[in-house]
Amino acid sequence: MDAATFRQDFPEFSDQLIYPDSQVDFYLRVAEKLLPECRWGEMLPYAIELFVAHHLAIGRQNDLAGSVGAIPGAVKGPVTSKAVDKVSVGYDAGSVALEDGGFWNLTTYGIRFLQLARLFGAGGVQL
């Protein structure tokens, strides 16, 4: 797996100024060390890409927080409501979050990754 293949499969991360190759490559190396091929089989490349996308998205959130004077890396959950003047919007984040998903529930990539990890970690099924 390389940064070019990742960017082809996940074009939302194609901006190399925001997501430099060095950062993509770093998370690719981490994923390759943490995700065993014997567990994932042919789905390993997709699992690696979801892992990387999740970490890049979290990193971007931290970059944006730091750029406006907030604390990068501050722990917070998904926004479930927001009001500006007389207009408000709310989201039911709990309806898409995975139980005990923790950190992985912070992005759609993490949710997809965790769903797959749970499937591949469940082992065989006997009836």
For position 93, what pLDDT does the model report? 57
32-66 core/surface letters (b: 16 or more CB in 10 A; e: else): eeebeeeebeeebeebbbbbbbbbbbbbebeeeee
| Model pLDDT, residue 102 | 83
Residues 6+ apart with CB under 8 A from 60: 18, 19
Return the pLDDT at 125.
Answer: 54
pLDDT along the chain (127 residues), means of 10: 97 97 98 93 96 97 86 71 72 63 88 91 58
What pLDDT is attached to residue 72? 81
How much is the pTM? 0.81
Distance separating alpha carbons of residues 118 and 121, to the nearest angstrom: 5
So what's the pLDDT on residue 73?
78
